[in-house]
Amino acid sequence: MITQFVYSLKMIQDEVRQLVEKGSISRQQHIYSLCKYIPPREWVCVESELEKADYLLRDRVGELISVETWNND
C-alpha cells in the first residue's frame, strides 16, 4: 500500500517556523536546506506544494515564513 502525504502551504510554514525558533535552521538559508529535516518520500510532496505557491528552492527560508500585512491608508 502506498501512503500519500498531503501538505498544505500553511502546514509547511508552521513546521519551518518551529525549526527556525528551535535554531535548527536560519531564515537566511535556502528553502532546499529543509530537505535535511523532512523524510525523502515526504519531500516530494513538500516540494510540489512549494512550487504551486511559486516558491523556488533557492529562495530563503525567511521569505517562506515572513508575514506581511498591508493596511489601506
Q: What is the pLDDT of residues 25-52, one digit of tens each?
A: 999 999 999 999 999 999 999 999 999 9
| Spatial contact of 34 and 25, defined as CB atoms under 8 Å apart | yes
**Which residue type sits at 8?**
S
Range of the domain at 44: 28-66
Question: Does pLDDT of 11 surpass 90?
Answer: yes
Q: Is residue 16 part of a domain?
A: no
Q: Is residue 18 part of a domain?
A: no
The pLDDT-based confidence of 24 (bands split at 50, 70, 90) is very high
Q: Is residue 5 part of a domain?
A: no
Q: Is residue 2 part of a domain?
A: no
Domain count, the chain: 1
The pLDDT-based confidence of 71 (bands split at 50, 70, 90) is low
Dist. CA 1–CA 9, nearest whole Å: 26
What CA dihedral angle connects 55, 61, 67 and 72, to 10 degrees? Answer: -50
